[in-house]
């Protein structure tokens, strides 16, 4: 036990990632009586950006917009897409490899004037 009566100690860590992704680390703590290894995983999300798409097409004619998804992380990404709203279509799953950019084809196919 420590002098203040607690059985814990703080271990400050400074982490400055360059890119979004998953970062793994091992911390090895050694003393004369004990050896401990701590596994740490830090997940960094990219800043979120707002975007708007405007679709214009005659009724009953489809228009498709490819949306680029860039993976700058060190792990393969798997996206599950949930589309809300009428007349929108696209794949339910998209895979993006490490260092790759995949296109998500979002289709708007109106069945009437709207």
Residues 17-36: pLDDT tens digits? 888 788 888 989 898 888 98
Q: What are the domain boundaries of the chain? A: 63-108
Q: In degrees rounded to 5, what are phi and psi of residue 10?
A: -85, 140
How big is the chain by its Cα radius of gyration, in Å?
A: 24
Give the Å distances, CA to CA, from 92 to 21, 39, 79.
22, 34, 8
> Which DSSP string corresponds to 44-113?
EPPPP----------TT--EEEEEEEE--SSS-EEEE----STTEE--SEEEE-TT-EEEEEEEE--SS-
Q: What is the pTM of this model?
A: 0.55
Residues 24-68: pLDDT tens digits? 889 898 988 889 898 988 888 777 666 777 878 887 889 999 999
């Amino acid at each position: 036990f420590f002098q203040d009566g607690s059985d814990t100690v703080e271990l400050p860590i400074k982490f400055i990632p360059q890119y979004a992704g998953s970062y793994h680390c091992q911390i090895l703590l050694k003393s004369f009586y004990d050896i401990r290894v701590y596994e740490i995983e830090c997940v960094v999300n990219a800043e979120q950006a707002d975007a708007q798409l405007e679709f214009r097409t005659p009724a009953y004619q489809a228009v498709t917009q490819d949306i680029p998804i860039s993976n700058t992380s060190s792990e393969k990404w798997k996206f599950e897409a949930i589309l809300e709203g009428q007349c929108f279509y696209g794949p339910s799953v998209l895979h993006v490899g490490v260092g790759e950019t995949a296109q998500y084809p979002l289709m708007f196919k109106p069945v009437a004037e709207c």
